[in-house]
Amino acid sequence: PFDVLVVGGGPAGASAAIYSARKGIRTGVVAERFGGQVMDTMSIENFISVQETTGPRLAASLEEHVKQYNVDIMSEQRVKNIVEATDTEDGYAHIYLESGAILKSRSVIISTGARWREMNVPGEQEYRNKGVAYCPHCDGPLFKGKRTAVIGGGNSGIEAAIDLAGIVEHVTVLEFADTLRADQVLINKAESMPNIDIIKMAQTTEVVGDGTRVTGISYKDRNTDEIKHIELAGIFVQIGLVPNTEWLKESAVALTSRGEIEIGAHGNTNVNGIFAAGDVTTVPYKQIIIAMGEGAKASLGAFDYLIRTPAP
Ligand code: FAD
């Protein structure tokens, strides 16, 4: 059995694994896809001390760094359930894989990340990273001086519009409903900015491009059913970040109504010996540098737990 089993191999999981292995304890990482969301990222410019890198390059460095240590990496394995140590006969937490295997560990760090909810319209996949973006903190500066749209009028959409308006030429917010769900203070701020337009009752129908880059967006005016078109260079999709916690629904790990794992100051969950880190948790602001810090924190939290808890 492991002392620490990390579930998820993104920035949070890689960091947690390295911090655990450096304590000389038996460490494993099980991940569906090593690298996580970083593998879907083209250019990364806000990973401090690295001026510019690409997702695949950073993911390769993460894996290389983990492999410097004695860590058992189990890639391309999906976890489907976890049973806490107090509910098993042998006193270890049991981690069930889709493959049928069961892993046992004294402590577990969950770092299964999250995924952006997509619009599911033609052109979205084709122009992903070619004008279609999901993270204004990451990709906003790429659209300096250009026209953009934000899809979604909730808090994240209106925050993104305010953020982008300081960088880009113009932002159009497209909201499906007839009202914005964002906090009034954010709506007031957005409405006061001269380069933000907000269109409600707008259903995005297509991302339009020239084969290499986005050139516009089409939407249906839900009041009139008329299809309208806006010429622009960038589209920020802000219709929700979904935590990868479906597999925890049957477990004892407490989730918020949005499905995020609730964590305490040491990365601890409500279950003794189970910790969590990164985008899958309630941590505010989902970023690589934050996920790595959270992974380190959860790992140190797990180590503190292990030295205070007798082995089964
Ligand atoms: P993730 O990276 O999501 O990793 C989750 C891991 O868990 C993966 O290994 C996955 O395969 C695994 N997993 C999930 N479910 C299971 C399961 N059931 N069983 C086993 N394994 C499982 N952030 C920045 O700081 N700068 C940027 O420029 C930037 N650009 C981005 C661009 C895009 C297109 C996207 C999508 C995100 C971007 N982000 C950026 C955000 C950043 O990628 C995330 O904040 C970060 O990757 C979160 O790390 P994580 O380890 O918590 O989760």
Last residue of a domain, one of 183, 206, 237: 237
Bridge-partner residues for 218, per DSSP?
Answer: 206, 229
Distance from C-alpha of 89 to C-alpha of 221, rounded to nearest angstrom: 60
Cα–Cα nearest to 104, from 122, 82, 125, 119: 82
pLDDT the model gives residue 40: 87
CB 243 near ligand 1, within 6 Å: no
Q: Are residues 229 and 128 part of one domain? A: yes
Compute the distance from residue 36 Cα to the ligand 1 centre, in Å. Answer: 4
- Judged by DSSP in three states, 295 sits in helix
Q: Are residues 247 and 226 part of one domain? A: no
Indicate which atom in ligand 1 lies nearest the CA of residue 77.
Answer: 20
Distance from C-alpha of 296 to C-alpha of 14, rounded to nearest angstrom: 9
pLDDT the model gives residue 168: 98
Compute the distance from residue 172 Cα to the ligand 1 centre, in Å. Answer: 28
Ligand 1 site-directed mutation target among 138, 156, 239, most atoms within 8 Å of CB: 138
Distance from C-alpha of 199 to C-alpha of 296, rounded to nearest angstrom: 42
Q: Are residues 8 and 108 part of one domain? A: yes
Residue 246 phi/psi, 5-degree rounding, is -55, -35
Distance from C-alpha of 296 to C-alpha of 38, rounded to nearest angstrom: 18
Distance of CA 203 to the CA centre of its chain: 25
* Alpha-carbon separation of residue 108 from 7, 13, 43, 295 (angstroms): 7, 11, 31, 12
Last residue of a domain, one of 218, 237, 256: 237
CB 204 near ligand 1, within 6 Å: no
Q: Are residues 170 and 85 part of one domain? A: no
Q: Are residues 163 and 74 part of one domain? A: no
Q: Are residues 106 and 185 part of one domain? A: no
CB 9 near ligand 1, within 6 Å: yes
- R_g (Cα) of the chain, nearest Å: 21
The enclosing domain of 6 has a CATH number of 3.50.50.60
Alpha-carbon dihedral angle through residues 183, 188, 192, 197, given to the nearest 10 degrees: 60
Compute the distance from residue 296 Cα to the ligand 1 centre, in Å. Answer: 16
pLDDT the model gives residue 23: 98
Q: Are residues 189 and 78 part of one domain? A: no
Q: Are residues 254 and 181 part of one domain? A: no
Distance from C-alpha of 146 to C-alpha of 144, rounded to nearest angstrom: 6
Note whether 238 and 157 are within 8 A (CB). yes
CB 40 near ligand 1, within 6 Å: yes
Note whether 93 and 105 are within 8 A (CB). yes
Q: Are residues 138 and 227 part of one domain? A: yes
Q: Are residues 134 and 192 part of one domain? A: yes
Indicate which atom in ligand 1 lies nearest the CA of residue 12.
Answer: 51
CB 195 near ligand 1, within 6 Å: no
The two structure tokens encoding residue 256: 């918020």
- Judged by DSSP in three states, 15 sits in helix
Compute the distance from residue 116 Cα to the ligand 1 centre, in Å. Answer: 10
Angle, in degrees to the nearest 10, between helices 11-21 and 288-308: 40
In order along the chain (312 residues), what is the average pLDDT of each group of 10 residues?
98 98 98 95 92 96 98 97 96 98 98 96 97 94 97 96 97 97 96 98 98 98 98 97 96 97 98 98 97 98 97 94
Tell me the longest C-alpha to C-alpha distance in the chain.
68
Q: Are residues 246 and 136 part of one domain? A: no
Question: Number of folded domains in the chain?
Answer: 2
The two structure tokens encoding residue 181: 């769900």
Q: Which domain holds residue 70?
A: 2-115+241-308
Cα–Cα nearest to 223, from 201, 205, 238, 245: 201
Structure ipTM over 0.90, yes or no: yes
Indicate which atom in ligand 1 lies nearest the CA of residue 112.
Answer: 7
Bridge-partner residues for 219, per DSSP?
Answer: 204, 228
**Residue nearest ligand 1's atom 16 by CA:** 112
CB 157 near ligand 1, within 6 Å: no
Last residue of a domain, one of 217, 237, 257: 237
Q: Are residues 155 and 92 part of one domain? A: no
Compute the distance from residue 43 Cα to the ligand 1 centre, in Å. Answer: 14
Note whether 208 and 223 are within 8 A (CB). no
pLDDT the model gives residue 228: 98
**Residue nearest ligand 1's atom 53 by CA:** 113
